[in-house]
Structure 1
Amino acid sequence: MTDHARIYVEEAEKYHLLISKQPLLHDVIEEIKPLKGLDVVDVGAGTGRLTVALAPLVKSVIALDASAEMLAVTAERLKQKGLRNWQTHIADHRYLPIKDNSADLVVAGWTVAYIANDEVKDGALNLQETIAEMKRILRPGGTIIIFETMGTGETAPNPPDMLKSYYKRLQEEYGFAHRWIRMDYQFESVQQALELTQFFFGDEWAEKVKQSQSSVVPECAGIWWLHV
């Protein structure tokens, strides 16, 4: 099994190369919550997939992540764009270092699942505490948007079993609306697809790419949002 925790600490740049092969999401977010003038918090920001896309469009953005190495990539990307309306902070999802009622939008991309899935002790409690923290930092009328996988290599939603209870809780216990989109990886070559899928998804996926000889790896993603 791939050690994602190690990757996020030791190979943040390579991880960013992988996710850079997927579509940007600012237009999807804009459909749910108009971005102009918003103060945004990106929970589990990683290398800035959402932070860097949103920063030019909003009033401010704070990127939070447990990995200092991932946040360093985010910071460098923001600096390269000449942006100044941002901060980064190391944080646990359940204890956000943000003041009450200080954000208009909280986004969380492919991150809450790590502490809320069925294979993690107290996954349901972790989700409860995370959602409570997100609500705490939001102003009235604020919005939470969560992105998670609905299946790598899938052309229609087929999420891993360990995530199904988490997704069900988002809708049934917390009242999130939901839809899904395609987030296919568009690699530059079959060789790059082989290398990067093996790096993050493991040998089984690398073998699938080898057999298909395709530089495109299908991916479905779920979007959950809640206006509070």
Structure 2
Amino acid sequence: MEPLLTQLRAAAEPTRLRLLALCARGAFCVSELCAILGQSQPRLSRHLKLLVEAGLLERLPEGANAYFQVGHDGALARQLLARLPEDDATIAADRRASARIAAERARVASESFRRHGADWDEMRALGLPAPAIEAALIKLVPKRVARAVDIGTGTGKLLDVLAPRADAVLGLDASREMLALARARLAERDMAHASVRLADMYRLPLPDAGFDLATLQMVLHYAEDPQAALAEAARVLKPEGLLVVIDLAPHERSDLLTGLAHRWPGFDDAALAGWLGAAGCAPLPPVEVAGPLAVRLWPARRLAAPVAALSETSLNF
């Protein structure tokens, strides 16, 4: 009973209720929340601290900054917010202000990206058939999952594909610039059940067995240690959860290794099957999508046995 009472007490204050309403629609940092609510940083920081301690908000560190959002398990917060009248003037004003903040965030992120020469999409740059690849992915993904994670999400394009099939979807990336654009994408599409956060694919800030679906699209060819990246992706999957790797098949384009800093010239089925097996996953038949460079989708099911146990047995193969 006490945790429930703590959450109710934390929400029972006008400013904190406004903060919940905002952070249920997307992730905001303290300075953005100050601009939206027109209140001082020390005051809002105290309110945010109470909401985080009560478990109503998640605090996501990102370098020297931190973003706040209603967590995927924030059932009570969403129930309380559902009782707010749609025509409440204060909440409506906050939403308009948050939309302006999101638009400005997107503009700054885009300008920064262009200045650094990274305003491009790898699929488009390589002339790959993105619609066909996304269609192939949709055929592999269950019609409904509870939680999905896209590792190396970049600007969050794959979140658009996964969001209609997941109750909650999370994008992870090691680039703050990429995440800034991804947040702008989510705000533009009003995808309240999708979020992004800063993360290293070798050390995901996620619990074991928390997701039903994990994807890595055009990520593995940058990895120094693909096997370690796949093992970490498998760790966060529930038993029978689905892992889908989307990447280039073997090729002889040396310019991709030098010009685009690819670490690997594509992957063959045997290598992926070995790494997936060592990670505690059962590989499923791969799917190939033709194009200027062949792209393959390697799906695999997470087995119920611990990864450590599977790693030991794999030494006997």
TM-score tier after normalising by the smaller chain length: 0.5 to 0.7
Alignment match, 1:14:
120
Give the TM-score normalised by the residue count of structure 1: 0.65
Q: Provide the aligned C-alpha RMSD in A.
A: 3.0
The change in CA–CA distance for 1:9 and 1:35 in structure 2 (over 3 A counts) is farther
- Aligned-pair CA distance for 1:104: 0.4
Structure 2 residue ranges without an equivalent (≥5): 1-112, 255-263, 278-282, 303-317
By relative contact order (CA 8 Å, sep 6+), the higher-ranking structure is 1
Alignment match, 2:137:
29
Determine if contact 2:169/2:195 at 8 Å carries over to the other structure: yes
Structure 1 residue ranges without an equivalent (≥5): 1-6, 116-122, 151-156, 185-217
Determine if contact 1:12/1:73 at 8 Å carries over to the other structure: no
Separation of aligned partners in 2, 1:87 and 1:106: 14
Is residue 2:297 matched to residue 1:223? yes
- Aligned-pair CA distance for 1:29: 2.1
Q: Deviation above 6 Å: which 4+ runs of structure 1?
A: none
Among 171, 187, 190, the residue aligned to 2:273: 171
Structure 1, residues 15-67: CA drift from partner, whole Å, max 9, x if none? 37936984334432232221413311100001122112211331111100111
SS in 1 for 2:248: strand
Identical amino acids, percent of aligned pairs: 25
Q: Counterparts of 1:176-187 in structure 2 under 5 Å?
A: 176-177=283-284, 178-182=286-290, 184=291
Among 132, 145, 162, the residue aligned to 2:231: 132
Alignment match, 1:205:
none
Is residue 2:90 matched to residue 1:90? no
Alignment match, 2:50:
none
More helix by share: 2
Q: Aligned pairs, how many?
A: 174
Separation of aligned partners in 2, 1:100 and 1:8: 37
More strand by share: 1
Structure 1, residues 101-143: CA drift from partner, whole Å, max 9, x if none? 110000010011101xxxxxxx4xx223212211111111101
Q: Which has the larger radius of gyration?
A: 2
